[in-house]
Amino acid sequence: MQSDALFAQLHREAEALGGARLFTVSVQDPDVGLARRAYSSDHTAYPLSVPKPIQQDAWSRRVLIEGQPFIANTTAEFAPYFFDHAQINALGCHSAINLPVLDGGQVIGTVNILDVENHFTPDRVTALQDLLAARHAALVAAMRAVPVGGSVAEARLARLRVRMVEAGVDLVALAPGAHLRWLHGFAPMPDERSCLALIGHRTAGWLMPALNGEEVAAHSDWAQWRWADDQGPAAALAEALAALGDIGTVSLDETMRADHALLVLDALPAARRVFASETVGHLRLCKDAAEIAALRENARIADLAQQALRAAIRPGQTERQVAEAARAAFKAEGAVPEFTIIASGPNGAFPHHHTGDRVIAEGDILVCDIGARKDGYYSDITRMAACGPAPEGYAEVHAVVEAAVQAALAVIRPGTPAREVDAAARAVIVAAGYGDFFTHRTGHGVGQEIHEPPYISGTSDVVLAPGMVFSVEPGIYLPGRFGIRLEELVVVTETGCEILSSLPRDLHIA
C-alpha cells in the first residue's frame, strides 16, 4: 500500500473511533532538525509545506525526542506547546493527541489528531493507540518511504516562523547581511538598489532588482518580485506585500539602509515595527554544534596567528610588519584576515588603535588583538607581548587583568545575567584602583559577525544560555605608558563555559 493510501485509511479509522477535525502524519529528520507533514486532512488550511523544527521546547523533547505521547483536552492545555494554535483553533480544534511512531527505539514521526474540546477520553486514547499498534509495521514502512531531505537553511526558516508567531510578527524584512546569511546561507550583493528578503508565515521571497534576478535564482528557490531601474521598487513591493498577507507587525533588519527601511514602513503605515533582534537575532544568540565547531576551528587558527606574530617581534620592526605576520598565518590556514591590532608602547593605551608604522623598541609592551573569518565565522583573541624585558610596574597590572578574566569566567553559567559577568570583571579592576582605566564593556558576542549579541556590559539584561558565544576581554589602559587586554572567546555550556583558545594568557617575551 502506498504511503498516502495508508495515511488516508488511518484517517478514516481514527474518525470512526470518535472523530478527527484535523488528522496529520509527520515524519522527521533528526540530522536536519525538521519534522515534515507527510499527510494532512486539510491541505488548504493546514498544508504539507510547513515543517516544524525539532527544538528543545517541552513538546519537541517529549514527543519527537523522548517518544512520549502528548494529550491535551482543551485549548488552554495545548496552546503553550503549539506555535500555530490560533490557526488550529480557527479550524474548530481545541484538543489534541500526538502519538509518536518509533522504529528500533527511534522516533521517526508522529500521528496527530486534533478535535473538539474534551474529546480525548482514556478509552478513546487507548483505542487510538491500539489502532496504531495493529498497523505498526505498515505505518513504519509508509513513513520510511516518505522522502524527508531538507537542509540547515530550511530548518532555520522553520524555526524563524515559530519565533515569528511567538513574537507576534507577520513579516520579517532582511537586508543582505549577517542575519540573511545565517538564515538562508546566501545573501545577494548589497548596493543602493532595494534588495530585501521578505519572510511571512507561509511565503518567503525577494524584492529583487531585475539585473540580479537570474543570478540570485541560481542560489535560492524563493519567489522573486523583480523591479527595473526605470520603474522603481514601489510596485514590486506592493505585489510582494499582497502575496504575504495581512501584516500587523514587521520585523526590520537593524542593519538595513534607512531609505530601504522607510520604503517598507511607508508601504505599511499601520504596522507595528520591531527589530530583527526579536526574530532572527533571537535565534542566532545560541549557536548549534556546527557553528561552535566552526568557531573552535577559527580559534585554533587564531592561536597559530598569535604565535606567528610573536616570532616577528624585534627592535626595528614596525607595528604593520608584525601585523602582516599574523595576516600571512591566517591566509595560510584559509582564513580571511579581518583585523590585526598591533599597539606598541604608548599606543597600547588606545583600545582600538589603528596599526601603523611606529617602530618597535626594546622595552615596548604590545597589545596584539587579531581576528579572521573562515566558513562564515570569526575569531577574536588578544594576547600581550613584550620586546625584551617588560617595564617596571607591568607585572602588577597584568596580574590584575588576569584576575579580572578569571573572575568573569567563574560566574559564566546558564541563568546568569550578562551584566553579572561584566560586574565580576569590573569589581576586580576597581578594587585594584584601576577602575577609571577600564573604559569598555567586558565582552561581545562573536559568530557570523565580529560584534553581535550578547553584549557583556553593565546594562545587559540578556540571561546566559547554553550555546551563547562571546568574548571576555577586560583591560586597563594607562595613558602614555601601556595598555593591557586579555581576551578569550567562550561558549556557555550546561555547567559553565568552554574557552576556545588553547594559548596561555601569560606575557610573551620576544
Average pLDDT for consecutive 10-residue bins of the chain (510 residues)?
87 90 90 85 77 82 93 92 83 93 94 92 94 94 85 89 91 97 94 96 94 94 95 96 95 97 97 97 95 98 98 97 98 98 97 97 97 97 97 97 98 98 98 98 97 97 97 98 98 97 97
What are all long-range contacts of 163-168, with beta carbons under 8 Å and residues at least 24 apart?
A: 163/279, 163/282, 163/283, 164/199, 164/201, 164/251, 164/279, 165/83, 165/84, 165/86, 165/201, 166/83, 167/249, 167/251, 167/274, 167/278, 167/279, 167/282, 168/248, 168/249
- Rounded alpha-carbon distances, angstroms, from residue 4 to 46, 55, 91: 16, 27, 22
Other C-beta atoms within 10 Å of 89: how many?
15
Asked if the bond preceding 315 is cis, omega within 30° of 0, the reply is no
> Closest Cα partner for 338 from 348, 351, 327, 322?
327
Q: Please, which residues bridge with residue 23 across strands? A: 113
In 3-state terms, the chain is what percent helix, strand and coil (to 5)? 40, 25, 35
pLDDT (0 to 100) of residue 48? 66
**Contacts for 12 with CB less than 8 Å, ≥ 6 apart:** none
Return d(Cα 249, Cα 472) in angstroms, integer.
36
pLDDT (0 to 100) of residue 49? 63
Q: Where in the chain is the domain with CATH 3.30.450.40?
A: 3-144
Question: How far does CA 291 lie from the centroid of its chain?
Answer: 9
Return d(Cα 112, Cα 131) in angstroms, integer.
13
Q: Where in the chain is the domain with CATH 3.90.230.10?
A: 289-509
> Closest Cα partner for 346 from 324, 382, 319, 317?
319
Return phi, psi of residue 33, to 5°.
Answer: 90, 35
Other C-beta atoms within 10 Å of 409: how many?
17
Q: Please, which residues bridge with residue 26 across strands? A: 37, 110
Return d(Cα 69, Cα 52) in angstroms, integer.
17
Cell of 144: 520510511
Strand pairing report for 377-378 and 381-386: unpaired
Indicate left, alpha or beta for 232 from its phi (over 0: left) and psi (-120 to 50: alpha). Answer: left
Cell of 477: 589602559
pTM: 0.85
Name the helix (H) or strand (E) containing 409. helix 394-411
Hey, what CATH topology would domain 3-144 get? Beta-Lactamase (3.30.450)
Rg of the chain on CA atoms, in Å: 28
> Closest Cα partner for 176 from 155, 133, 206?
206
492, 466 in Cβ contact below 8 A? yes
Return d(Cα 428, Cα 190) in angstroms, integer.
44
429, 485 in Cβ contact below 8 A? no
Query: Residue 315 carries which DSSP code?
Result: T
Q: Please, which residues bridge with residue 344 across strands? A: 366
322, 313 in Cβ contact below 8 A? yes
Other C-beta atoms within 10 Å of 5: how many?
10
Cell of 100: 509518536
CA angle at residue 139 from 75 to 107, to 5 degrees? 65
Domain 152-283 has CATH 3.40.350.10: yes
Return d(Cα 338, Cα 315) in angstroms, integer.
26
32, 152 in Cβ contact below 8 A? yes
Task: Let me know if 85 is exposed, middle or buried by CB neighbors in 10 A (0-12, 13-18, 19+).
Answer: middle
444, 470 in Cβ contact below 8 A? yes
Cell of 146: 516518505
- Rounded alpha-carbon distances, angstroms, from residue 282 to 68, 162, 179, 287, 490: 29, 12, 10, 11, 19
Q: Where in the chain is the domain with CATH 3.40.350.10?
A: 152-283
Hey, what CATH topology would domain 289-509 get? Creatine Amidinohydrolase (3.90.230)
Return d(Cα 499, Cα 469) in angstroms, integer.
10
Indicate left, alpha or beta for 253 from its phi (over 0: left) and psi (-120 to 50: alpha). Answer: beta
pLDDT (0 to 100) of residue 457? 98
H helices present in 286-344, as ranges: 289-311, 319-332
